[in-house]
Amino acid sequence: MIREKVYLDNREVVYIRKLLLEKGIRPIDIARKLGVNTSTIYKILNGTTRSKRIALQIEKFLGVSNLFPYAHQDTSSSFDYKDTKQKLTKTLKNPNNSQEKTENPIANKN
Domains belonging to the chain, first-starting first, are 10-72 (1.10.260)
pLDDT tens-digit series, residues 13-61 = 999 999 999 999 999 999 999 999 999 999 999 999 989 999 999 999 9
pTM: 0.62
Q: What is the pLDDT of residue 92?
A: 67
Q: What is the dihedral of CA 83, 88, 93, 94, to 10 degrees?
A: 100
103 vs 67, residue with greater confidence: 67
- Alpha-carbon gap, residue 50 to 2, rounded angstroms: 19
